[in-house]
């Protein structure tokens, strides 16, 4: 009787140890949680792509070989890329799983650790959208700089004259 309970306990614990969980920062995500992001404009925009990816991931039922197949990884990548593009377009800051290169990197690491499958760089590297115009740099126009320099010079000379006549 005790051997049966011991066998069952070891089997139950081993099945949890072999589960396909990814760790992003301090958080550990199961396959069911990877794309379980809060409702937002990003989730609505990418619903079709992400639902397809989520269905493929759930159909794998924690089987690492299935989760690391090209079609499953590409579906996850396309979902994350869609969400990332929408995040950049809308200039939003949402849940850490939305458009996350860290999630893709952790997923890739888990594929390597559990299934000994190395994912290609193009399956884990999010690309900036073509519409992104880069970070905004506020530069003072030439005319405004000229006016500021003139007033600065006038105030500086006035201060020197005022202080030298005291």
- Residue 115 contacts residue 99 (beta carbons within 8 Å): no
pTM above 0.85, yes or no: no
Cα 100 to Cα 93: distance, rounded to the nearest angstrom? 11
Short-list 87, 75, 74, 69, CA closest to 129: 87
pLDDT digit string (tens) for the chain, length 166 residues = 555 444 444 444 444 445 789 999 999 999 999 999 999 999 999 999 999 999 999 999 999 999 999 999 999 999 999 999 999 988 888 899 999 999 999 999 999 999 999 999 999 999 998 888 777 667 788 888 899 999 999 999 999 999 888 7
What six digits make up the tokens of 78? Answer: 């396309």
Short-list 96, 106, 37, CA closest to 73: 106
């Amino acid at each position: 009787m005790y051997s049966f309970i011991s066998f069952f306990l070891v089997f139950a614990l081993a099945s949890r140890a072999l589960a396909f969980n990814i760790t992003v920062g301090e958080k550990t995500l199961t396959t069911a949680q990877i794309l379980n992001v809060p409702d937002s404009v990003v989730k609505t925009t990418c619903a079709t792509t992400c639902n397809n990816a989520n269905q493929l991931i759930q159909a794998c039922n924690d089987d690492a070989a299935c989760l690391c197949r090209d079609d499953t990884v590409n579906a996850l990548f396309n979902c994350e890329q869609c969400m990332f593009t929408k995040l950049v377009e809308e200039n939003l800051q949402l849940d850490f799983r939305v458009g996350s290169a860290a999630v893709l990197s952790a997923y890739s690491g888990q594929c390597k650790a559990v299934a000994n499958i190395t994912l290609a760089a193009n399956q884990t590297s999010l690309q900036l959208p073509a519409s992104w115009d880069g970070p905004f740099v506020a530069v003072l126009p030439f005319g405004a700089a000229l006016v500021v320099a003139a007033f600065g010079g006038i105030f500086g000379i006035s201060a020197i004259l005022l202080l030298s006549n005291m």
